[in-house]
Amino acid sequence: MAYQYQKRVPWTEIFRPRSLYEVIMTSRMRNQILNWWRAWIILWNLFRIWNNEERAKWMDFLKTSQGKEWANKYLRKWKTFFQQEFEKWAGAPSRGETPKSHTLLFQMSGKETSTDLKPTALREIRKWLDKLWGKFLSQTADENVPPAIPPLSPYKPLLLVGPPGTGKTSTAYALAWQEGVMIVEFNASDRRSGSVVREIVKEALKSAGFVIGGDPSKPPRIILLDEVDGLSARDDRGGFAALMRILDEIKLPLIFTANVIHDRKVRALMTRCVTIFFDRPQEYQAKALIKRIVSRMKMDVPDRIVNFLAKYAPDFRTIIEALEVYYYSGVLPEIFHEEMLSLQDAIRYAFGFKGKNLEESISRAQRYLGSVTDVDPWELILWVWENAYSFLDHSKGLFGFYNQLALADYLYKIGARNMNWRIAYRDAMRVLATAMARYGRHAKNVWELRKIKVNKPTIIEELYRMKQLMEGQLEEEGEAEEAEEINVKKLGLRPLLERYARYTHTSRKRARRELRFLIHLARAKPEIVGELFAKLYVPKETISIFTKYAFKSKKERSEIEGRILNAYEETLNKIGPRAEFLKMIPPISEKAEEKKVKEVPEEKKEAKKKPKKKEEEAGKVTLDKFFG
Ligand SMILES: Nc1ncnc2c1ncn2[C@@H]1O[C@H](COP(=O)(O)OP(=O)(O)O)[C@@H](O)[C@H]1O
Ligand SMILES: [Mg+2]
């Protein structure tokens, strides 16, 4: 008997989804992926038609001087024209609805939409191509007309972006398996990028002509370029640039995956791909996976643990691995032992709770930070950055802290780009923890810390907005915003009232009442008002609107405004500018607002919404402070 070597297959492999329907994602994402794939099937058949019926004639024509002339003049135009028209006709819409052409060409049976072509599909595709060619010729209106259609250009690649363990690689494989298509994977991280690109081209050329075996109406291969962020790190070898250049030559469906969207090059890719964002699992999604595994393995897992996992596991992979450990050992892996802190608390504690010596403070800070598992380290760095000012011990000077923060950020990015996670996670977090432990203001009790508000970094909001924009969710709002921009001038005192209300946790109506107060104050002590405005980050333009509103006499106004602005600038210099994502509020006519206030008094509404208001009270900026 042969020697049997038994190796346990890890659960992440056992539970790899076999079809797109087993990958847990929203139906919109799934539709988008299916639509992308269908577009490629249509294109593949266009290629087949071209190869069989046009290629030879075109090649002959290209040898003639007439052909060369035509190609010089129009080939490029034709390619972009084709690309645009194809996208319109068969492309994957970002909202995930099915294009009409797909309904025409594919057998959509039952609920699960299929990728099998109808018997009439080839004829329809040919018809479309002829019509398109006719349209192009009528545009050029040249007497020199080619006897055949020139070569067609490819469709976009698919780009899957999201944190590790959320199913990007699985999606590519699931699609390939479900469709009976071979998948060729290039992992950018373990090869020299130049050679990766060369191989991709080779692979793509191999299939550009004819198909051997399989379903000839589907592309024979999907090319998967996993973790392109790794590739982009090696730009000195020109891998990424080369890739972008050859994107138009690759006549096979290409799937990219990437972990981060803040990489410049991933963003460049986003503009040329159908991009799908993978999120960390929602609780119900995590539960679905847990249920699947628990029932398949006939495990007995207490509800307490199911809920805990669903709530705190940062991704699907972690869930599977945790359940595997639980199955064999009866306990969850160690990372789940720490009590989980909210991000806000983790930041508060890491800054505030000191140990006996620096070393102990650092390891404490590190532990607090480490207990937050649902945030990328990079995001964590941003959170700390945004909130550091209010937690720092200013007597120690701030230069050292920001220096270390920059170092942590640098380390993380270097590590992440090279996929050296030891540097990215451990070292960067260590530097961050050191900075927090060394420069944080010592707190004696939790309640003191709780009073300090922890804000979300504005850049994260911006990234989120960008994501929504890419998914087409924000389109309408965006249009509205453009219209608002024209109205910015009409906003008047609104930005001031907005900010004042927000920072003092009162309603805008109340803020308007306190405006009278501000006017008095401005007359008596303009410097204090200037300082206040700077701290509220009131836009500069608003200040002159304010003085114009408040002081009718020109002489008085210009003097007061000057003094306010001086103090304003001085304070801003001290506290530094804030990169705020300004959301313009549409001007509402006074009347409309008055009515709204009558219906639901805003103060009451706010009180209902924010029962924790008292805790934040001390962190407020109120006028009282400025009188004190
Ligand atoms: N959305 C998902 N649905 C089901 N299983 C998933 C999902 N995401 C990840 N998994 C599981 O986690 C493992 C790792 O996922 P993977 O696709 O390699 O993640 P990524 O490529 O995003 O890092 C897979 O083997 C799979 O079993
Ligand atoms: Mg992967």
Q: Which residues contact 275 (CB under 8 A, 6 or more apart)?
A: 159, 160, 161, 470
- pLDDT the model gives residue 110: 61
CA-nearest residue for atom 1, ligand 1, is 24
Is the pLDDT at 122 greater than 90, yes or no?
yes
Point out the ligand nearest to the CA of residue 317: 1
Ligand 1 atom at minimum distance from 278 CA = 22
- Name the closest ligand to CA 168: 1
Distance 161 CA to ligand 2 centre (A): 10
- On the question of pLDDT at 561 being above 80, the answer is yes
Nearest to residue 406, comparing CAs of 382, 425, 442?
382
Q: Whose CA is nearest to atom 7 of ligand 1?
A: 167
Ligand 2 geometric centre to CA of 323 (Å): 20
- Strands 274-277, 221-226: parallel, antiparallel or unpaired by DSSP? unpaired
pLDDT digits (tens, 9 = 90+) for 355-375: 889 998 998 888 888 777 667
Name the one residue in this structure whose structure tokens are 């990219």: 256
Nearest Cα residue to atom 8 of ligand 1: 167
Q: Which amino acid is at 245?
A: R
The Å distance, Cα 165 to ligand 1 centre, comes to 5
- SS3 label, residue 224: strand
Confidence (pLDDT) at 464:
67
Higher per-residue confidence, 559 vs 611? 559
Task: Kindly identify the ligand whose nearest atom is closest to the C-alpha of 187.
Answer: 2
pLDDT at 402 over 80: yes
Q: 316 CB under 6 A from ligand 1?
A: yes
Helix, coil or strand: residue 183 = strand
Of the listed ligands, the closest to the CA of 276 is 1
How far are the Cα atoms of 244, 287, 408 from residue 343, in angstroms, in the given order? Answer: 38, 22, 18
Q: Which residues pair with 369 in a beta bridge?
A: none
Residue nearest to atom 13 of ligand 1 (CA): 317
292 lines ligand 1 (CB under 6 A): no
Q: Which ligand is nearest to the CA of 164?
A: 1
The preferred substitution site among 317, 319, 321, 376 for testing ligand 1, maximizing ligand atoms within 8 Å of CB, is 317
CA 167 – CA 280 distance, rounded (Å): 10
* Alpha carbon of 228 to ligand 2 centroid (Å): 10
Q: Kindly report the number of other CB atoms within 10 A of residue 262's CB atom.
A: 16
Q: Is the CB of 15 under 6 A from ligand 1?
A: yes
> What pLDDT digit, counting tens, does each position of 286-333 carry?
999 999 999 999 999 999 889 888 877 778 988 998 898 888 888 777
Question: Which residues are placed with Cβ below 5 angstroms of ligand 2, an ion?
Answer: 169
State whether residue 493 is helix, strand or coil.
coil
How many of the other CB atoms lie within 10 Å of CB of 298? 6
Is residue 101 a contact partner of residue 90, using CB atoms and an 8 Å limit?
yes
Please tell me if the CB atom of residue 534 comes closer than 6 angstroms to any atom of ligand 1.
Answer: no
Atom of ligand 1 nearest to the CA of 171: 17
Q: From ligand 1's centre to the CA of 280, what distance in Å?
A: 11
DSSP 3-state of 254? strand
The per-residue pLDDT for range 150-177, each reduced to its tens digit, is: 999 999 999 999 888 899 999 999 999 9
Given a cut of 80, is residue 201 above it in pLDDT?
no
Written as six digits, the tokens of 107 are: 């057998």
Tell me, in angstroms, the distance from the centre of ligand 1 to residue 287's CA. 14
Q: Model confidence over 51-103: pLDDT tens digits?
A: 999 999 999 999 999 999 999 999 999 999 999 999 999 998 888 888 999 98
Tokens of 357: 């010596």
Name the average pLDDT for the chain: 79
Counting from 1 in the atom list of ligand 1, the atom nearest the Cα of 16 is: 27
Cα–Cα distance between 374 and 379 in angstroms, integer?
10
CB-CB neighbours of 372 under 10 Å = 23
Closest among 270, 195, 185 to 239, alpha carbons compared: 195
Residue from 240, 264, 36 nearest 157 by CA: 36
Q: pLDDT per residue over 433-453, tens digit each?
A: 999 999 998 887 666 777 788
- 227-236 burial code (b ≥16 CB/10 A, e <16): bbbbbbbbee
pLDDT more than 90, % of the chain = 34
Dihedral sign, Cα of residue 477, residue 479, residue 485, residue 490: negative
Q: How far apart are the CA of 96 and the centre of ligand 2, in A?
A: 23
507 in ligand 1 pocket by Cβ < 6 Å?
no
Phi, psi of 257 (to 5 degrees): -125, 150
> Separation of 300 CA from ligand 2 center, angstroms?
29
Q: Pairing between strand 182-187 and 158-161?
A: unpaired
What is the arithmetic mean of pLDDT over 414-418?
Answer: 84
Residue 615 Cα to ligand 2 middle (Å) = 43
pLDDT(31) > 80:
yes
Decide if pLDDT at 198 tops 80.
no
Lowest model confidence (mean pLDDT) among 71-85, 339-353, 414-428, 496-510:
496-510
- For the Cβ of 320 lying below 6 angstroms from any atom of ligand 1, the answer is yes
The alpha carbon of 416 and the centre of ligand 2 are apart by a number of angstroms equal to: 14
Q: What pLDDT score does 609 carry?
A: 44
Pocket flag, ligand 1, residue 23 (CB < 6 Å): yes
Q: Are strands 274-277 and 254-258 parallel, antiparallel or unpaired?
A: unpaired
450 lines ligand 1 (CB under 6 A): no
Q: Which residues pair with 277 in a beta bridge?
A: 161
Q: Which of 316, 318, 319, 321 for a ligand 1 pocket mutation test, highest count of atoms within 8 Å of Cβ?
A: 316
Atom of ligand 1 nearest to the CA of 281: 1
Average pLDDT over every residue of 419-427: 81
Write the pLDDT tens digit of every residue in 257-278.
988 776 777 888 888 999 999 9
Distance 468 CA to ligand 2 centre (A): 23
Using a 6 Å cutoff on CB, does residue 17 contact ligand 1? yes
Place of tokens 């099998």: 116
Is the model more confident about 408 or about 585? 408
What stretch of H or E contains 276? strand 274-277
CA of 162 to the centre of ligand 2 (A): 9
Collapsed DSSP state (helix, strand, coil) of residue 357 = coil
Of the listed ligands, the closest to the CA of 227 is: 2
pLDDT surpassing 60 at residue 485: no
Q: Quick one: pLDDT at residue 36? A: 96
Q: According to the model, what pLDDT value does residue 580 have?
A: 45
Using a 6 Å cutoff on CB, does residue 314 contact ligand 1?
Answer: no
Rounded Cα distance, 195 and 200, in Å: 9
